[in-house]
Amino acid sequence: MEDNPFVKRWRKGLRRIALVYPNAYSSGVANIGLQFIYAYLNSLENVICERFYLDVHNCLRSFESGTPLKDFDVALFSLQFEEDYFNVVKILKAFKGLKIAGGPCAMINPMPISKYFDAFVIGEVENSVVLDIIAEAKSVEDLKCEGIWLKEGRVKRIYPKKLDFYLRRQIIADNVFGRCLILEIGRGCVRRCRFCVVRQIYSPLRWRDTKLLIETAEDYRGVVDKICLVAPSTLDHPKAKELIAQLIDIGFLVSPSSTRADKLDEETLELLVMGGLRSLTIAPEVGSDKLRDLLNKGLSEEHIINAVEIGREKGIKGFKLYFMIGLPNESFEDVKEIVKLVEKVRSLKVEVSVSINPFVPKPHTPLQWTPYTGIENVEEGLKEIKRRRDYLIKELSKVCEVNVESVERFAIQTILSRGNEDVSKLLEAKPSLRLAKKMNLTRFLNKIPLDSELPWDFIDHGYKKERLIDEFIRAVGSE
């Protein structure tokens, strides 16, 4: 059951807007941006907004009233994951109204899914006029507005310069973080990891004022016993320790959505354990110093081992480690270094689980030009990354629980991420690498020449492409 302070009853004359999350309810209800959109639209006099989730009526009837999607005037889709595109195409077969998409995938590269929508919101809608425009729009022509891309020309991302607003009321439900109050403490990231798109599409870095966060938490004293702190790197908040300590003093358990090993000192870990933390997730990403330098993550093996040692002393029982394979300039020796690092962590007498993903070169990052698997010849690269995957499963299974994702699945994700409108051919079929090859879509797995025009170049995120090229050359060595 959820506690929803924004639900609105239908009455004749209201304009119906569907807020569609083409994935699970537990993930969608935890998205604080979607909560803002839902709350704002339902605050308008002439609008009713209802939500749709993939695991609730297959997104074909609303969560609140069971009203069919086809009865709504506008459908707003949140594109959070490229693989959701296959769900989106099926859902849209039941809808004939105005179709608008937003979310990180729209901000990164909407071209593969552009055929199926009338418009895309590029950016963050808070403190803008975008939602007011959408609420009144009867046609595509009515959507001409800064931050809305109508599938031609360039578009500049919109964003609130200050995070001086906050949902003092919130939908409380069993979400991916558990039943909790979600406090988004910041957007953007101070780090310069070359593989991560967050810094580019959510720049500049903005932190929320701790006073506002504490006041919001106070409103929920006795309603929930847990708070989840959300940000790309929660412990980089300049007052992270102070905030966690105050929330614990109020009486809450506190869980950060992400942690970095270099920020996990004794004081921080002691606070987190006091706040109920029993397991810790760390993302070393790679096992060797060479690849750490390439990624520019700013994390050393010493940071990782130190965090595990302190965590163990403070009572942390389990540790989950995240790695990637298929990076540019990666050798088999670099892959072996992952095993060595996991063995060192395991030797500290702690429970360890490992998750490993093939690397997806994301648009708008310095590594966007690299080939999938890190090897220029696609066929050779796919064979080699499978060999490395098999090796890691064999060796790591001896010392810990291990999950290594499918090479084919992440190849499809790369195509969806870096492709153009041709990719739409794949979206109405059952996705497979064999089919993608037959459709000539595996070309999007290739290395991209630095002087190429990219499918996403029409989006202005405020950075200069030349800077990314310079960063790529510094990281990889040469074109």
Q: In what order do the strands lie in the sheet with 181-184?
A: 181-184, 226-230, 253-256
Sign of the C-alpha dihedral computed for residues 350, 351, 357 and 361 taken in this order: negative
Q: CATH 3.40.50 in the chain: give the residue spans.
A: 15-156
Tens-digit pLDDT profile for residues 288-304:
999 999 999 989 999 99
Q: Output the pLDDT for position 180.
A: 97
* CATH (one of 3.30.750.200, 3.30.470.20, 1.10.357.10, 3.30.200.20) for 278-476: 3.30.750.200
pLDDT at 345: 97
The CATH 3.30.750.200 domain(s) of the chain lie at 278-476
pLDDT in tens, 61-94: 999 999 999 999 999 999 999 999 999 999 999 9
pLDDT digits (tens, 9 = 90+) for 368-380: 999 999 999 999 9
The three-state secondary structure class of 293 is: helix
CATH topology of domain 15-156: Rossmann fold (3.40.50)
Q: How confident is the model at residue 166 (pLDDT cuts 50, 70, 90)?
A: confident
CATH 3.30.750.210 region(s) of the chain?
177-258
Q: What is the dihedral of CA 234, 236, 240, 244, to 10 degrees?
A: 30
Supply the pTM of this predicted model: 0.96
Tokens 């693989």, residue located = 83
pLDDT tens readout for residues 332-359: 999 999 999 999 999 999 999 999 999 9
Dist. CA 49–CA 83, nearest whole Å? 25
Question: Among the CATH numbers 1.10.3730.10, 3.20.20.370, 1.20.1050.10, 3.30.750.210, which is that of 177-258?
Answer: 3.30.750.210
**Residue-wise burial string across 82-93, b where 16 or more C-beta atoms lie within 10 A, e elsewhere:** bbbbbbbbebbe
What type of residue sits at position 64? E
Q: Is the pLDDT of residue 479 over 70?
A: no
Q: How far apart are CA 332 and CA 291, in angstroms?
A: 12
Q: To which H or E segment does residue 207 belong? A: strand 206-207
CB 224 within 8 A of CB 181: yes
